[in-house]
Structure 1
């Protein structure tokens, strides 16, 4: 057992630093490489559990300091980053990300946008943010700014912003060219009658009209035809085995007032037209598409061929189904309007404004996108799985920089008898920074109600201070200054600041923190030792924080 003890401590400390705590199930499998025999598992379990309990009681800074003694036993291999699949034709890489302005970006958008951003960084290319607002019926006006803010925060890599409703005359010119090429027409057939003809692979009467007649009809779409009376179509193979490929529509009439253009336009392009034209005009070389857009890619390839243009390279990805995470902007908007949510940055929502406000760094979402990569495989991801992954990434990003402070949840006042005369202690502000913070000491101090319930009647160490024998009558006897191998807990003196911490479920934790948090800046992310990473939201009589994660 003695020969394994150092390896147990090494692996347990490493695991607890990464995941905030550890357990036997994570450590046991690692011991076989150090000589543990299956027949000896039962024998070592008591000592294993004892060591794990001891390590879990340490603060993150104490774990890190202790781990330095054992680091050579479990070398910190440099984490190999996930590599993006190589692209073809990479002399000049231009990619685009095109959300609709129905709300801000959410975690699903972050996956695709993250991949786009990393590819253009890899090839020193260009990333275009294109807002697809050609459906006047589904626009949330604030989304124009929200999307741009979210995309810039996530990538810091947007080269150009294009708003499609500003470009309608360009789409019109392309369609007129297709009419001249006799590859497009304006159809005024009854919808049901047209569907019946199409199902039999038969052409409607509109299809064979002359170029001159098609142009006249095209003009009438802007002046005379009512919504639903005429639609502009692309000529394709009417005998295509896939009915969706047969003479698909590319323009329709819609007189709904547009959030950005008002009543300026009534003829609006459908996605297969606007997307294709913008890809051509912007010289887009590579596109990341959801695989359920494979038919749209084929439709667009037909038009590319008619225009004698080379289509971009497609990279298809599977769908990620995020369980327990409401991604519908329409439904979320209704809930915001009904005051169920406070806004798009409500802590309970999976939208980027909320994750940013909680203290997640954009790199954590980028790393999540790289973890998945470009794959056709559909995934179902629970809320718990998703947050476990991005919290792990975010923890590694925050840990080297977030300063440490003491916070006590649901405080219980303790009177310490016969303490040494100490009015102030200097405490490291971070394990790896050569800086300290001054923490006031008083005979009456506060510990959390959880720690009081757990350790009453036992000897414990007040972190960075001294040891006490905690009694059930809310008093304590000073025992020694020696840093003993006993449980260590946080404490706050009688000079403190009230705090409330907004939790991911919308509830609050209440408590007090040391006075040195007065030096914090708004939106600063810090670590309350043995509690969690948090982000300062508001100062006042009560300091308000947002819970980030453990």
Structure 2
């Protein structure tokens, strides 16, 4: 994946709408093309270009810079030099800001009388700037509602409706709503559509917690995350407003996965709740595994999760301090150097036998320590161990290794400067204390090491760091081992190509499959701060996700392409007719699209086979019709049907509600519907399991389909519903000349299929896990 063409730093209080929309539009074409970073020290916006130069200024300056940086990928400046001049003229009109809303809309209305866009035949910076101007003058930064003062201008209204239904624009409006929810409005969004948490009538959760959310925002100094505000997690032991410091300390040796998410969420939550500080510290103590690309991906994934740290640090920043500190600890006899072989040391620790080196004097220990730091032939056979208790029932306390040599691998930040590196068990508590961490989030998998953590702090004379324990998220049929996941990537088993595969439990994989950040965090919130470790079913997390996406996912129809059945209808329009319809029957804010009608439609083969001559059925979003004739081939397969519209019929009285698409080959959108099963067949994998023995190499199932023409207008990342098939995420959007777009099916947590045509995978197995193909 190509890197970012520009980075937009912005102050959320200034709400630089135009530049944020430009970034959103560009990222819908190429994810992460323009990185967006919350920066409260920026007055409005600042853009960093590829050459490293930075430019601060107003919203329109930032949007111009972004449009120029991605000129080869977008048409924001138009598609010709003449169009570019016109775009700049309109941006100039907006920049002057001298027109009041009615006069500006009057000018714009005349321009749009015979046009879809302000300039040319595609969305440009002129549209975005004009939309932002009307949006700003309308006075509602968190709504797509058309301003009342502009409603007498029909062409502007049409243009506004079209633009506000574009997910890239709606996303920015929704983020303003999310920002508002941090102060109590309780709004959140997916696909750029606002959703109220309170449900029908009555107060929402945001209303109930309004005071608490506002207090959190006012007290926080760093970047807030709206997710998590107003929750009722237990208070921190010794936590004081403005003095709490938490950290999230991943190793840059792979992509963030679901096992990391809870730690990051809790660290962020408590830092914001107490108006404190969140440190993102890269635990880069193992040069054999770490890469700069993983560091970048972790930062990007945290942004995806809505988590913004206050400070980025590296354990390697403290290498000089840690070396000097270790020298003093060796002098004091708290640590010793051991040249016992790995195998013998492992055996001795298991049996509680002291090493022959345990009682060496300080002089010999210091000599061997110097050899380790030089990386000499003698030094590389040694390690530094803490002198604790070889008889302790907790084997983590049996003189654990604190430092070890590595002279073969180059550190991605320090190169070959160091020959010996601190182990996590030593570096973590020492650096926590040095960086001012007050509360360390520790998952229950480290429970045996907590005693060791506290021993190091006390033995080294360091200040106490409070521990906040929580259970790790463990899910059935899921492997989190980086080594085992790498096997799938390296071997390309089951079609896996990268760590972003939709079957992977990485943040990227899960979001690519359609798991929303809100759905994920709702699941975490429901688990609470429990320390008990349970193996969770996937149905719970997908059911939470469905609650988020169902109210805002636009609805479309699609039929299987391989054996679709032509259904000719008497009484239907003989030429193509179009009518605007809501994208969501219950949520008008999702927008509208054009529904096409003609006298011949396509049905699913399974639906056609279930129909009977003389039966009245309902065509969804159209009305009733009678089936007059069904033609079948020699094998009994339906080849065509004939019927007649009966729009006066009562849809409540029909047994069959069928989805369909107009038979318009030039306008239907070919698509590949991808369904994914579990990556492994074993419900609870063990450490000793060989991944090749439990791998499900037949976990991807594709269906060719023909979709509603309106689907072609939606960008990558859009979550939608195909009626009677389920929810899907646009993985690869439509573009001119493309054979087919790709839609990834999103599980909904149900153990039953939506219909006879909805799935190729047993949903009960997908929801509950277990060995595939067995009861």
Q: Same fold (TM over 0.5)?
A: yes
User: Does structure 1 conserve the Cα–Cα contact (< 8 Å) formed by 2:715 and 2:733?
Assistant: no
CA distance change for structure 1 residues 173 and 405 in 2, over 3 Å: closer, same or farther? same
User: Does structure 1 conserve the Cα–Cα contact (< 8 Å) formed by 2:287 and 2:410?
Assistant: yes
Q: 1:129 aligns with which of 252, 256, 280?
A: 280
Counterpart check, 1:328 vs 2:481: yes
Counterpart check, 1:499 vs 2:694: no
Aligned residue for 1:142, secondary structure, equals: helix
Q: How much has 1:296 moved relative to structure 2?
A: 2.3
Cα distance in 1 for residues equivalent to 2:598 and 2:482:
52
Q: 1:367 aligns with which of 519, 522, 530?
A: 522
Number of equivalent positions = 473
Aligned partner of 1:294 in structure 2 is: 447
Aligned partner of 1:150 in structure 2 is: 301
Aligned partner of 2:583 in structure 1 is: 429
Aligned partner of 1:256 in structure 2 is: 408
Aligned partner of 1:509 in structure 2 is: 703
User: Does structure 2 conserve the Cα–Cα contact (< 8 Å) formed by 1:111 and 1:365?
Assistant: no
Counterpart check, 1:111 vs 2:262: yes
Cα distance in 1 for residues equivalent to 2:482 and 2:353:
38
Aligned residue for 1:408, secondary structure, equals: strand
Aligned partner of 1:547 in structure 2 is: 745
Cα distance in 2 for residues equivalent to 1:186 and 1:548:
54
CA distance change for structure 1 residues 240 and 507 in 2, over 3 Å: closer, same or farther? closer
Cα distance in 2 for residues equivalent to 1:231 and 1:437:
67
Where relative contact order (Cα < 8 A, 6+ residues apart) is larger, the structure is: 1
User: Does structure 2 conserve the Cα–Cα contact (< 8 Å) formed by 1:203 and 1:238?
Assistant: no
Q: 1:452 aligns with which of 590, 608, 630?
A: 608
User: Does structure 2 conserve the Cα–Cα contact (< 8 Å) formed by 1:117 and 1:155?
Assistant: no
CA distance change for structure 1 residues 129 and 418 in 2, over 3 Å: closer, same or farther? same
Cα distance in 2 for residues equivalent to 1:345 and 1:258:
26
Counterpart check, 1:441 vs 2:589: no
Aligned residue for 1:507, secondary structure, equals: strand
Q: How much has 1:162 moved relative to structure 2?
A: 2.8
Aligned residue for 1:289, secondary structure, equals: strand
Cα distance in 1 for residues equivalent to 2:745 and 2:479:
20
Cα distance in 2 for residues equivalent to 1:507 and 1:190:
50
Cα distance in 1 for residues equivalent to 2:460 and 2:451:
14
Cα distance in 2 for residues equivalent to 1:161 and 1:179:
30
Aligned residue for 2:646, secondary structure, equals: strand
Structure 2: segments with no counterpart, 5+ residues:
1-199, 209-229, 632-640, 678-699, 749-775
CA distance change for structure 1 residues 270 and 500 in 2, over 3 Å: closer, same or farther? same
Cα distance in 1 for residues equivalent to 2:705 and 2:253:
39
Q: How much has 1:353 moved relative to structure 2?
A: 1.1
Q: How much has 1:395 moved relative to structure 2?
A: 2.1
Cα distance in 2 for residues equivalent to 1:256 and 1:78:
55
CA distance change for structure 1 residues 187 and 542 in 2, over 3 Å: closer, same or farther? closer
Cα distance in 2 for residues equivalent to 1:369 and 1:510:
36
Q: 1:476 aligns with which of 639, 643, 646?
A: 643
Counterpart check, 1:524 vs 2:718: yes
Cα distance in 1 for residues equivalent to 2:358 and 2:271:
44
Counterpart check, 1:215 vs 2:366: yes
CA distance change for structure 1 residues 350 and 197 in 2, over 3 Å: closer, same or farther? closer
Q: 2:733 aligns with which of 512, 534, 538?
A: 538
Aligned partner of 2:567 in structure 1 is: 414
User: Does structure 2 conserve the Cα–Cα contact (< 8 Å) formed by 1:107 and 1:351?
Assistant: yes
Q: 1:307 aligns with which of 435, 456, 460?
A: 460
User: Does structure 2 conserve the Cα–Cα contact (< 8 Å) formed by 1:199 and 1:243?
Assistant: no
Cα distance in 1 for residues equivalent to 2:358 and 2:481:
39
CA distance change for structure 1 residues 227 and 217 in 2, over 3 Å: closer, same or farther? closer
Aligned partner of 1:42 in structure 2 is: none
Structure 1: segments with no counterpart, 5+ residues:
1-70
Q: 2:434 aligns with which of 281, 290, 295?
A: 281
Cα distance in 2 for residues equivalent to 1:521 and 1:295:
48
Q: Report which stretch shifted further, 184-193 or 485-494.
A: 184-193
Aligned residue for 1:114, secondary structure, equals: helix
Cα distance in 2 for residues equivalent to 1:181 and 1:170:
17
Aligned residue for 1:401, secondary structure, equals: coil
Q: How much has 1:300 moved relative to structure 2?
A: 2.4
Aligned residue for 1:103, secondary structure, equals: coil
Q: How much has 1:208 moved relative to structure 2?
A: 5.0
CA distance change for structure 1 residues 483 and 122 in 2, over 3 Å: closer, same or farther? farther
User: Does structure 2 conserve the Cα–Cα contact (< 8 Å) formed by 1:467 and 1:479?
Assistant: yes
Q: 1:400 aligns with which of 508, 527, 551?
A: 551
Aligned residue for 1:116, secondary structure, equals: helix
Aligned residue for 2:618, secondary structure, equals: strand
Q: How much has 1:530 moved relative to structure 2?
A: 2.9
CA distance change for structure 1 residues 361 and 202 in 2, over 3 Å: closer, same or farther? closer
Aligned residue for 2:500, secondary structure, equals: coil
Aligned residue for 2:264, secondary structure, equals: helix
Q: 1:464 aligns with which of 599, 612, 621?
A: 621
Q: Deviations over 1:135-161 (max 9, x none)?
A: 233345532222222222124233333
Cα distance in 2 for residues equivalent to 1:189 and 1:463:
75
CA distance change for structure 1 residues 292 and 444 in 2, over 3 Å: closer, same or farther? closer
Q: 1:349 aligns with which of 501, 504, 517?
A: 504
CA distance change for structure 1 residues 407 and 182 in 2, over 3 Å: closer, same or farther? same
Q: How much has 1:251 moved relative to structure 2?
A: 0.8
User: Does structure 1 conserve the Cα–Cα contact (< 8 Å) formed by 2:503 and 2:510?
Assistant: no
CA RMSD of aligned residues (A): 3.1
Aligned residue for 2:480, secondary structure, equals: coil
CA distance change for structure 1 residues 320 and 484 in 2, over 3 Å: closer, same or farther? closer
CA distance change for structure 1 residues 429 and 314 in 2, over 3 Å: closer, same or farther? same
